[in-house]
Structure 1
Amino acid sequence: MSKHIIVGGGVYGAAVAWHLASRGEAVELIEAGTIASGASGGPGRRGVRANGRDYREIPLMVRARELWPGLHESLGTAPLYETMGQIQLFEREIDLAPAEARAALQNRLGIESRVLSQSEVRELEPDVAPFIRGGLYCPGDGVAFHKTTTLAYADKARQAGAILREGVEAARLVATNGRVTALATTQGEEIPVEGKLMLFCNAGVKDLVAPWIDLPLWSRTFLVAVSAPLVDNPVRHLVGHASRTLSLKREPDGRLMISGGRPGTWDAATRRGTPIQREVDLNVADAVAVYPSLEGLKIETADTDHLEAECIDHIPIIDNLPGNEHVLYAAGWTGHGWAIAPAVAELMRDWVLEGRKPELLEPFAYGRFG
């Protein structure tokens, strides 16, 4: 039996390792840091959101929604996912027509969606500011504990026989006449590629495949701010905003998570991020503007320690390396690959076992760039 090599110990690497090992495949996963130390880690819960997604991702989201509610049973953990609904608020008249068009598209693709009037928003979120005109609502959306989920996948992979090695960083792909034969690590080890080599190290994929292709990706670190516990947290749903850089999540302990895509600074040498106070202040200001009762909100944690890879067209690239059908990669999740992870992991497993790319992954091919 050929051994499959996986690079990256985030949710994709851990989930695919489990799926393959549980089918009797030999799997070795290497992770530069520790499992879930990258974009799959961090504080709080992460949104499991269909609302506002690129239409090419929605079929993946339909399948992911079937998996999320019972995933904890498959992984043998406490519940990981909570359905709470997602509302994308809007305050400008010009955002109404796009919301109506997106609701029609999402309903057609199997995601229940509807546009809320001003009064309907207030029925669901009584504390929003008076200037909020309406919202796009997906009642089936929710949140999940991302680090806990990733660690649970990793534990199941180990139990199924996969080898997971932490503190082992991929340096380059070793090739003969353009064909990859081994994976070199920064410690000087060369790991032979016998079966499939899968690159799920997100921000690190671009450099590894650079001798073959130039992926239109870049890396950023995003701010995740978490408040001190609130006596009365006014946010009842997963909340986004059509024109503000704002995403709000209510945590089980009463804290409020504020995110949405504001940047931090990244130090490649230390692999740590540093929050930018102005960006923290702007995130809080937007939250207070939309929910005036949050005035005086205190931020307890400002996290920018998780590097993310963004793609030029805001959806991931999932493909095999030119001339190397045995080398598969997935990168450029652009901050929203988490929700579809259970579905994509299944499809990557099928690709490895059946030897052909699943149809649902075709829209994410590198060839879309011409």
Structure 2
Amino acid sequence: MSSYQHVVIGGGVHGCAAAYHLARSGRSVVLLEAATLASAASGGFGKRGVRGNKRDLRELPLLRRAYTLWPGLSDLLGADVGYERTGGVNLIERPATGLRGGLVAARAHAQVQSALGVPTEVIDRERVLDLLPEVTDAVVGGLHAPLDGMGDQTATTRAYAAAAQRFGAVVVEGARVTRLERDGAVVRAVICDDGERYEVGESVLVAANAGAAPLVERELGVALPLWTIYPQALRIRPPGTSPARLLVGHDSRTVSLKTVEDGVVMVSGGWQGRPGSDGSGEVLEDQVEGNLREAGAVFPALAAAELLEASAARPESCAQDQIPIIDVVPGTANVLVAAGWTGHGFAIAPAVAEELSGWMLSGRRPPALAPFAVDRFVERVGT
């Protein structure tokens, strides 16, 4: 039996980053990871985008802070997190895309994003060609966010964990949580499948991503409106140099592209796998083919690219309104949950960790996390 002020459940980037800030503040912290660090959504090949362009407006205050943190994160943590500020472009092919996209909406998007801390400019086709000379003739313009970039999700997660340990945090891998022992509204202990018991002095953070909602429902009786998805990612090698010199997204196509190493292009953007028999995901051939078609439609040179790897192995939790839940679990006094990242939580992780650890230390919800309260899904009578 061990006792800690704070118990963090989940060894992904959000759990490790929160543990780092708590330990750096002088608190006793244990981080419990069911498998190994970065073994789920915070791992895998390639890099993840640090993207403000076309991000949900409720996340932009966190992204604005993250923009300032990423360039110095390797020095802060004492390890290379693979961060690159490449800039990003959201390509536009159509005059209008539904009610929210197309060239007609570009100026408004740029105006609002810039006002909220994500400098953005509308660029015409000529400027797009300056940045991406091999792009399809169908592109008529784009939204350019010069502060966007990418980072190595596995390296970042492990760097946070190692830095947390240097400040005294205990990291336990292979520690699958099976019970949360309650005394009324307070969780007093966290118990793992090996029988190890971790007594809780102050608070528990459930940051186990796809594992968070099942644990919270089973042990605390609260059903969070989250579900599990299996995002697909591909590694392809173009016949020549990579045409994706920036972080590339698209206004109307389901595709995103980035060059990750040695000219290899990582292709993703919303295509999904399916659950496999071992709890991870597996790819679907039609989804791989669809993603490759979209990549080739944006950059014709990629139509002849060699597929090196396809994976949908890493589960992710998805929220009903596509932004995370970060809140005290209803009916408890000392359990916070951070989940439902919907495939875009990596970019804001450094800023979320600052705010979330501050909440755990002070007991006060920071304004930047207010949009992610669980009660946004509950009718407020009389308001």
Class of the TM-score when normalised by the shorter of the 2 chains: over 0.9
How far, CA to CA, are the matches of 1:321 and 1:289 in structure 2?
Answer: 44
Structure 1 counterpart of 2:224 = 215
Deviation of residue 18 (structure 1)?
Answer: 1.2
How far, CA to CA, are the matches of 2:235 and 2:261 in structure 1?
Answer: 12
Structure 2 counterpart of 1:326 = 334
How far, CA to CA, are the matches of 1:353 and 1:70 in structure 2?
Answer: 24
Structure 2 counterpart of 1:204 = 211
CA contact (8 A) 1:230 1:254 kept: no
What percent of counterpart residues are identical? 44
How far, CA to CA, are the matches of 1:306 and 1:39 in structure 2?
Answer: 5
Within 5 Å, which residues of 2 pair with 1:84-99?
84-94=86-96, 95-99=102-106
Q: Does 1:67 align with 2:69?
A: yes
How far, CA to CA, are the matches of 2:170 and 2:81 in structure 1?
Answer: 26
Deviation of residue 49 (structure 1)?
Answer: 0.2
Encode CA deviations 1:189-232: one digit per residue, 9 max, x unaligned. 44322221000001111122224422111101111100136531
Structure 2 counterpart of 1:52 = 54
- Equivalent of 1:271 in 279, 293, 312: 279
Within 5 Å, which residues of 2 pair with 1:48-197?
48-78=50-80, 80-94=82-96, 95-197=102-204
Deviation of residue 136 (structure 1)?
Answer: 1.1
CA contact (8 A) 1:274 1:304 kept: yes
- Equivalent of 1:300 in 270, 292, 308: 308
**TM-score normalised by length of structure 2:** 0.93
Q: Which runs of 5+ in 1 are unaligned?
A: none
Structure 1 counterpart of 2:266 = 257
How far, CA to CA, are the matches of 1:229 and 1:8 in structure 2?
Answer: 36
Within 5 Å, which residues of 2 pair with 1:27-42?
27-42=29-44
How far, CA to CA, are the matches of 1:195 and 1:178 in structure 2?
Answer: 13
How far, CA to CA, are the matches of 2:366 and 2:166 in structure 1?
Answer: 27
User: Which amino acid in structure 2 is aligned with residue 225 of structure 1?
Assistant: L
- Equivalent of 1:290 in 277, 298, 302: 298
User: Which amino acid in structure 2 is aligned with residue 311 of structure 1?
Assistant: A
Q: Which runs of 5+ in 2 are unaligned?
A: 97-101, 379-383
Q: Does 1:336 align with 2:344?
A: yes
Structure 1 pair 230–195 and aligned structure 2 pair: CA distance change class (3 A): farther
**TM-score normalised by length of structure 1:** 0.96
Deviation of residue 2 (structure 1)?
Answer: 4.8
Q: Alignment partner of 2:84: what SS?
A: strand
CA contact (8 A) 2:81 2:159 kept: no
**What RMSD over aligned residues (CA atoms) do the two structures have, in Å?**
1.5
CA contact (8 A) 1:230 1:255 kept: no
User: Which amino acid in structure 2 is aligned with residue 57 of structure 1?
Assistant: E
Greater mean deviation of Cα atoms: 314-323 or 338-347 = 314-323
User: Which amino acid in structure 1 is aligned with residue 293 of structure 2?
Assistant: A
User: Which amino acid in structure 1 is aligned with residue 104 of structure 2?
Assistant: A
CA contact (8 A) 1:45 1:143 kept: yes
How far, CA to CA, are the matches of 2:333 and 2:250 in structure 1?
Answer: 41
Q: How many residues align?
A: 369
Structure 2 counterpart of 1:16 = 18
Greater mean deviation of Cα atoms: 138-147 or 317-326 = 317-326
How far, CA to CA, are the matches of 1:104 and 1:335 in structure 2?
Answer: 25
